Amino acid sequence: MAALHAVLQRPNNRQAQKIDERRRRYILAFVSYITSAVMFIYGFKNLYSEQVLLPVILFGTGLAFLLNILWFHLSRNLQRACVIEAVLVGGFVLSLVYQGGFNNTALYWVFPFPAILFGLLGVRIALLSNALLVLMLCIMLFIPDLILAQYKDAEASRFIASLLIVIIVCWINDHYRERSHQAMDLLQQSKEMQANTDALTELANRRFIDASLLPSLALQPAQFFPLSLIMCDIDHFKQLNDRFGHDAGDDVLKAVAQLFRKCLRQHDFACRTGGEEFLLILPHTNSADAFLVAEKIRSQLAQQALLANQPEYHITASFGVALCDNAEDFTQAVKHADEQMYLSKRNGRNQVN
C-alpha cells in the first residue's frame, strides 16, 4: 500500500508544485516589472528635489528588481530569485522608512510588502521575515537618532499596530489557504486510492497499472528499472468456489493478498488483475531474485491452511517470472510472465517458471 500511495501521490504533488510555481512567478514578475516601473516614475518626479537620497533609493531598488528578474529568466532558479526579491523588498522598506519618502509619507508605502513576502516565500519563512522586518522598523522608529526621517510617536505606534494587523491577516489567509489545499489534496488522493484499489483484497487493481503506474514508469524510469514481474494464479480456484462457496474463495483471496504484503518489500507492488490472478511488480530486481521471491511465496502458500473449517485443504498457485528493462517493453513483459505462468500450469501447477 505504501508503494501504491507513493505512485498515486506523485502526479498530485507535481501538479500542486506547478501551480505554486506559477503563482510565485506571477508575483515575482509583478513586483519586478510593475513595482519597478512605479519606482522609476516616482524617481524621475523627485530627481531634482532636495531629497537626494530618495531617487537613489527608488532607482537603485527598481534597477535591482529588473536585474533579478533578468537573472531568473536566464537561470530559471525560481526559489533563489524569490529569496533575492524578498531581500530587496526588505531593503527597500527599511531604506525608505530611514529616508522618510516624499513629504515623510514612507510609512504608507510599507503596507503592500508583507503580502508580497508571503507570496514569494511561503507561510513559515514569510512570517519569520515579516517579524524580523517589524522588529527592525520598531528599532528605527522608536530610536529616532538612528534615521534621517522624523516620525511622531503616535504616528509610529499606529503604523506598527496597523502593520501587525496586515501581517496577521496575511498569515491567516495564507495559512488556511495552504491547509485547504492540503485537505483537497488528501481528498483527491483518497478518491484515487479508492479508484485504483481492489475492494476485496485492498491491493492495486488493473486501473492502477494503466492509469498511474505506466505513466510513472515512462516519466521516472530510474526509480523502477530494471524491474521483474511475477504473474500468479491460484490453482483450481473455481473448484474451491464450487466446493466451499464464494465466501471461502474471498477469504482465500484476502489471505493470499496478506501473504504478498508479508513477502514483498515496501516499494514493491501487488496487483489483482483478475478473479484469482495477481501481478507482482518488483522494481530494481533481476529475474533470479524475482524467481526466489516467487518460490518463497509459493512455498509458504502451499504450507498454510487458509480455510479455517477445512485445515486439510491446501491452496497452491502457479507463477511466471519475466524481466522488464524499460517502459516500452512493460506490456510485452507482462505477456511473457503470463506465458510462463501458464507453462507452470501445464507442467503440473504449484511451481515457478
* CA end-to-end span of the chain: 27
Q: Which of 125, 122, 126, 154 is nearest to 141 (CA)?
A: 154
Q: Are 225 and 326 in contact (CB under 8 A)?
A: yes
Spacing of C-alpha 348 from chain mean position: 47
Q: Which of 215, 342, 325 is nearest to 277 (CA)?
A: 342
CA angle 293/200/346 to nearest 5° reads 45
Q: Is 276 annotated as catalytic? A: yes
Q: Are 278 and 272 in contact (CB under 8 A)?
A: yes
Query: Which residue among the candidates 178, 192, 202, 276 is catalytic per the annotation?
Result: 276
State whether residue 208 is helix, strand or coil: helix
3-state SS string for 69-134:
HHHHHHHCCHHHHHHHHHHHHHHHHHHHHHHCCHHHCHHHHCCHHHHHHHHHHCHHHHHHHHHHHH
DSSP secondary structure, 252-320, as one string: HHHHHHHHHHHHS-TT-EEEE-SSSEEEEEEET--HHHHHHHHHHHHHHHHHS---TT-TT----EEEE
Phi, psi (deg, nearest 5) at residue 244: -115, -10
Q: Which three cell numbers stand for residue 305?
A: 491452511
Q: Which helix (H) or strand (E) holds 322?
A: strand 317-324
Q: Which of 90, 94, 105, 110 is nearest to 147 (CA)?
A: 94
Distance separating alpha carbons of residues 72 and 81, to the nearest angstrom:
6
Can you say whether the dihedral through the CA atoms of 92, 95, 96, 101 is positive or negative?
A: negative
Class of residue 318 by CB neighbours under 10 A (exposed 0-12, middle 13-18, buried 19+)? buried
Q: Which three cell numbers stand for residue 199?
A: 475492494
Residues serving a catalytic function are: 276
